[in-house]
Amino acid sequence: MEQTQEITMQTSHSEYLKLQTVYLKSVRNGFVSGEVLSEQWRELNYVSRPKFDESLKEYENFKTILLSNNIEVKHFPQDTNTKIDSIYCRDASIATDFGLIICSMGKEGRRSEPKAQRKVFKANDISVLGAIKPPGTLEGGDVAWLNENTLAVGHTYRTNEEGIRQLKALLSPRGVEVIVSDLPHYRGVEDVFHLMSILSPIDKDLAVVYSPLMPIRFRNLLLDMGFELVEVPEDEFETMGCNVLAIGPRKCVMVEGNPKTQAALEKVGCEVFTYRGQEISVKGGGGPTCLTRPMIRLK
C-alpha cells in the first residue's frame, strides 16, 4: 500500500510541481574543451564561441541552485557521437508517466543525441514508451505540459507534422490531449526557436510568455484555461527572459540580467533564483529549461 501511494504522488506531467529528479549534461561532458568549442560553435549557430573556463563556473553555479533546493541531479555522460549542443538535454527526450519518448532532432548537428540518451535510460532501467522516427522530427523544447492531461506542442522548423502525428499516436490513447501551436517563421530555419522560447509554465495558473511571437489562438487558450500571463518585455527576450525553469510552484530559476521579468515574477509571489548564463545559455540560445531534462516531480 505504501508503494502504491508513493507512485501516485509522483508525476512527469508537469512543468511546475516540486522538481525531485533531473538529468543534466554538464559543461565538461557536453562542451568537453575549448578546442571542441572552437571546432563546433559556428556550425551549430552559436552567437559567439563560449569561453570554456567561464562556462564551467556558470554551470557549477546553476547546478548548485538545483542541489541547494534538494533536487536529485543525475548526469548524462560524455559521448563522442554528440556535439556541444547536447548540453541542452531537454530536447532529445520527453518524460511521461508511461515512460520516456525518445525524440528525433530537427537540427542536423543534433541527430545523435536521442540515441545517446536512450543508452543511458536503458543502462539505468528507465522505461521508454516509444520513439519518434524519421521523417518525423520532434524536439523536447517544443513541448510543455499545461496540466497533467494536456501537452502543448509547437509546430516549428525543429518539430514537423509527422513528428506531432507520432506524438499524438503515443499519448492520445493514454488520455493525454495534445494541443498544437503553429509558431511563426521568426528568424528562419537555422534559428533556435522552440515553443518554450515563448512559454514557461510557473504554476498551475501562471506562465511566463513572450506575446509578440505567440499565436493568438494559443494565447487565448492559455487565458481560457485560467492562466495569468507574466509578459516578457522585448528588450529581455534575446537574453532568455522567457526561458524560466520552475523547480516548484512559483519557485523558479532564470538567467540573470532580466530584471523586468524577474520583478514581474516576484510581484506575483514567485521566488526567483538567477545564475550568470552568458556562456552556457545566451551564446547557445538555451536557458535553464533547455539545460535540464526533468524526470519526476512531486504532486
Mean pLDDT across the stretch 248-261? 98
Mean pLDDT across the stretch 234-248? 97
Residue 137 lies in a domain: yes
Residue 284 lies in a domain: yes
Mean pLDDT of the chain, nearest integer = 96
Confidence tier at 246 by pLDDT (50, 70, 90)? very high
Residue 152 lies in a domain: yes
Instruction: Give the DSSP per-residue string, the chain.
Output: -HHHHHHHTEESS-SSSEEEEEEE--HHHHT--HHHHHHHTTTTT-SSPPPHHHHHHHHHHHHHHHHHTT-EEEEPPP-TTS-GGGG-GGGGEE--TT-EEE-B-SSGGGTTHHHHHHHHHHHTT--EEEE--TT--B-GGGEEEEETTEEEEEESSSS-HHHHHHHHHHHGGGTPEEEEEE---TT-TTS---GGGSEEEEETTEEEE-GGGS-HHHHHHHHHTT-EEEEPPGGGTTTTTT--EEEETTEEEEESS-HHHHHHHHHTT-EEEEE--IIIIITTT--TTTTEEEEEEE-
Confidence tier at 276 by pLDDT (50, 70, 90)? very high
Contact 160, 106 (CB under 8 A): yes
CA gap 251, 18 in Å, rounded:
9
pLDDT at residue number 193? 87
Each residue of 19-62: pLDDT tens digit? 999 999 999 999 999 999 999 999 999 999 999 999 999 999 99
Q: Write the CATH number for 223.
A: 3.75.10.10
pLDDT at residue number 192? 74
Mean pLDDT across the stretch 97-120? 97
pLDDT at residue number 4? 44
The yes-or-no verdict on residue 3 having pLDDT over 80 is no
The yes-or-no verdict on residue 189 having pLDDT over 80 is no
Give the count of domains, the chain.
1
Residue 5 lies in a domain: no
The yes-or-no verdict on residue 233 having pLDDT over 50 is yes
Residue 1 lies in a domain: no
The yes-or-no verdict on residue 6 having pLDDT over 60 is no
Residue 4 lies in a domain: no
Each residue of 138-183: pLDDT tens digit? 999 999 999 999 999 999 999 999 999 999 999 999 999 999 999 9
Mean pLDDT across the stretch 196-224? 98
- Domain range for 97: 10-298
Residue 157 lies in a domain: yes
Confidence tier at 1 by pLDDT (50, 70, 90)? very low
Residue 3 lies in a domain: no
> What cell was used for 240?
532568455
| Its pTM surpasses 0.85 | yes
pLDDT at residue number 8? 57
pLDDT at residue number 188? 74
Mean pLDDT across the stretch 122-128? 98
